[in-house]
Amino acid sequence: MSRRALARALPLVLALCAYAVVPPTAARAEEIPRAPGHRLVSPYDGAPATPRPVPGPPLPQNPHLATNGRSGMHADAAGSGTHPYSGPLGVRPSVTSEKIAPIGGECATATFDSAGRLLTVCGTFSGFLLKLLDPRTLGTLAEYRLPQRSSTVEAITRLDFSKIFKDTSGGAYFYLDDQDRVVLADSRQHVLRIAHARAADGSWRFAVEDDWDLTAHVPHDCISWTNLFPSGTCDPVTSVMPDWNGRIWWVTRLGRVGTVDPATGTVRSVRLDGEEIQNSFSVAEDGVFVVSDHALYGFLGDAGGTPRVQWRQRYDRGTGSKPGSVNQGSGTTPDLFGQGDDYVAITDNADDRMNVLVFRRGTDVPAKRRLVCKVPVFGSGASTTDNSLISWGNSLVVENNYGYENLTSLVFGRSVVGGATRIDVRADGSGCDTVWQSDVRSPSTVPKLSTANGLVYFYEKPPHPLGIDAWYVTAVDFRTGERRWSRLTGTGLRYDNNWAPITIGPDGTLYAGVFNGIVAVRDEDEEAAGSLREARPGTARS
């Protein structure tokens, strides 16, 4: 077969295979296979941690989101990356997993309904799957198929699979609302609100309650199997979030910012000309905060729902994207933190060393006073991140993703230079200080802090001289930056985290999305873990 004929035939073969990727709904989970070498690496290092809750006032609760810690990729409206539940302490931690598809199937955002059931969106070649999982067994309770993304079709037809790994649209960012409903934007530029309920026979079902069409506001001439050579523009919707008034805000890759009024279906939008948005955004009572690849914005909606820029702050976007960045510009969802409506933080994309930037976010702040601090992090010529910061109180934690681009980046025992740093804003707001630096090598995860036990959780891959690709959940002390323990989750490409977050569930289980599905880590000896928790009574959000 000639190369040209193969190129023509391959898309059809892959497309047919793709539709066989997703198995029918099953009650039992199938474990993700481990690659050879798992017996040659340490399954556990360190020792169980003693819980030390991190004091601080509770974060504001967006009235239209599920309770803080349960609602989305970044855990809450502020994008804090914190959970009020105590994650595993490292007491003989066990690992379970669910394989979603023969190839792919990564489950990124994980949320939890009011009964603790897990809702997640998993990516396959035939489209994203919204899944309701049993939080203990990871077995599938219900499944809803979302449309295939244009980037998948483009990757297959152009034989360029980097398209998939640099696409944050199609439902990867979604949120759970205050009535346990999933709200997401699919690849057709529609915003869906989807409920789940149990039928009389005991089975679970998803049902679309609302469907808002954005195509009048968003160019949608996208690649599909019936439109392989579009002549127009395709602008995928990146993320959705509700503001304090209940309006659903959305952003697109090509710089559109809009709202949907759930009561009337009215859609309003504006365009940030020449700018791109590849991250999610954060919301507080004082506004909506969006970062593009050029600037950080504070928005408010006017009386009719049209987004209005309150202030704009440019930052150093560098001269190009780095290995470890989805695009040129900041890779962080804005973090809203401090006492009240004090600060918003992002990272920049400066050429030599990336900086953590903290700004005052009030609308009445003079431009010359908006910047609180600019702190360079990690090594010269080797620093970038494409994951949100962790924020708690006046503290920020940032990790280094430099060197990770896709699943092939770290095979054969390779790793990234790594690193994580904690930075604190001074009490008087006069600047920031570096508190600690860690050598943890977390290539691509969204790390999380358990405020109930004081541990920061990363998904780590150390280098290995024998070429074994071993992946670990690693717990680091929030106060000191010291490692406490690491637990092997699996070996091989299937366990690559590939930009998915760590999430801590209400029962203390830690979940991490991986290329082939999702893994769960929990303390096996619950009685011993409970004794450790009781040794340090109190909660982080009292």
Range with lowest mean pLDDT among 103-112, 433-442, 471-480, 519-528: 519-528
Kindly state the average pLDDT of the residues 220-233.
Answer: 93
Pairing assessment for the beta strands 190-198 and 204-213 based on DSSP bridges: antiparallel
Confidence (pLDDT) at 290: 98
Alpha helix segments (H runs only) across 483-523: none
Compute the distance between CA of residue 351 and CA of residue 349 in angstroms, rounded to an integer: 6
Is residue 81 within 8 Å of 74, Cβ to Cβ? yes
- Topology annotation, domain 3-535: Methylamine Dehydrogenase; Chain H (2.130.10)
DSSP label of 191: E
Could you give the C-alpha distances from 247 to 22, 121, 243, in angstroms and in order? 34, 23, 6
Residue 208: CB partners within 8 Å, gap ≥ 6? 192, 193, 194
Range with lowest mean pLDDT among 28-37, 93-102, 134-143, 159-168: 159-168
pLDDT tens per residue across span 300-327: 999 999 999 999 999 999 999 999 998 8
Confidence (pLDDT) at 7: 35
Residue 537: CB partners within 8 Å, gap ≥ 6? none
Confidence (pLDDT) at 161: 72
Q: Which residue has the higher pLDDT, 1 or 97?
A: 97
Compute the distance between CA of residue 134 and CA of residue 30 in angstroms, rounded to an integer: 13
Kindly state the average pLDDT of the residues 109-131.
Answer: 94
Confidence (pLDDT) at 534: 56
At 260, list the tokens.
């949907």
Residue 385: CB partners within 8 Å, gap ≥ 6? 324, 331, 332, 347, 354, 398, 399, 400, 401
Tell me: pLDDT of 10 over 70. no
Confidence (pLDDT) at 19: 35
Q: Backbone phi, then psi, for 342, in 5-degree steps?
A: -75, -60
Compute the distance between CA of residue 324 and CA of residue 349 in angstroms, rounded to an integer: 11
DSSP label of 369: G
Q: Backbone phi, then psi, for 374, in 5-degree steps?
A: -135, 110
pLDDT band at 251 (very low <50, low <70, confident <90, very high): very high
Compute the distance between CA of residue 533 and CA of residue 306 in angstroms, rounded to an integer: 48
Tell me: pLDDT of 151 over 70. yes
Q: What is the reported pTM?
A: 0.91
At 158, list the tokens.
């152009």
Confidence (pLDDT) at 170: 83
At 120, list the tokens.
């997640």
DSSP secondary structure string for all residues of 272-294: -TT----S--EEETTEEEEE-SS
Confidence (pLDDT) at 153: 87
Confidence (pLDDT) at 530: 60
Range with lowest mean pLDDT among 3-12, 85-94, 123-132: 3-12
Could you give the C-alpha distances from 505 to 113, 323, 495, in angstroms and in order? 10, 32, 20
Confidence (pLDDT) at 376: 98
Q: Encode burial over 248-259: b for 16+ CB neighbours within 10 A, e otherwise.
A: bbbbbbbbbbbb
pLDDT tens per residue across span 408-432: 999 999 999 999 999 999 999 999 9
Q: C-alpha 476: how far from its chain's center? A: 19
Q: Hey, where are the domains in the chain? A: 3-535
Kindly state the average pLDDT of the residues 272-285.
Answer: 96
Compute the distance between CA of residue 314 and CA of residue 20 in angstroms, rounded to an integer: 46
Range with lowest mean pLDDT among 79-83, 352-356, 536-540: 536-540
Is residue 107 within 8 Å of 502, Cβ to Cβ? no
Share the mean pLDDT of the chain: 91
pLDDT tens per residue across span 359-390: 999 999 999 999 999 999 999 999 999 999 99
